[in-house]
Amino acid sequence: MRVAAVLCALYVILGAFGAHGLENILSPDQKATYETGLRYFIIHALGLFIVQIIYYIKENYNPYPSRFFYLGMLLFSASLILHALKDILGIDVNVFARLAPIGGLSYIVGWLVFAYTLARK
């Protein structure tokens, strides 16, 4: 739950940076990509809280949903954010956009593993 709290704080930092520091720098498409990455990031940071609370209540723990959420945050959310910022960062590679589908799949697998874990007990 501590990691989830830190991730929520990171979301606020990145959101403020996007709203104030990148406001006039990013194109509308880049801003939309940045915001999509952030949206999925916070959904899954909050999802980490939910998963941990339910595991605590049900006394049934499986580490894999959280691991898949972390992977999704890295491969989906972070890759979209970096893709949106690639011109600013001077990155001339589009690999980030290619990682996003794997990250999206990681989010899906995390939720399905969580559902399976709940159904098991």
The full set of domain ranges for the chain reads 2-120
Instruction: Per residue of the chain (121 residues), give pLDDT as tens.
Output: 899 999 999 999 999 999 898 988 999 999 999 999 999 999 999 999 999 999 999 888 899 999 999 999 999 999 999 999 998 988 877 777 788 999 999 999 999 999 999 998 6
pLDDT tens, position by position, 26-61: 999 999 999 999 999 999 999 999 999 999 998 888
Task: Please answer whether residues 33 and 65 qualify as being in contact, where contact means their C-beta atoms are separated by less than 8 angstroms.
Answer: no
Task: Name the CA radius of gyration of the chain, rounded.
Answer: 16
Cα separation, 90 vs 88, whole angstroms: 5
Half-sphere exposure of 98 (CA within 13 A, CB side): 3
Closest CA to 69 of 50, 94, 95, 96: 50
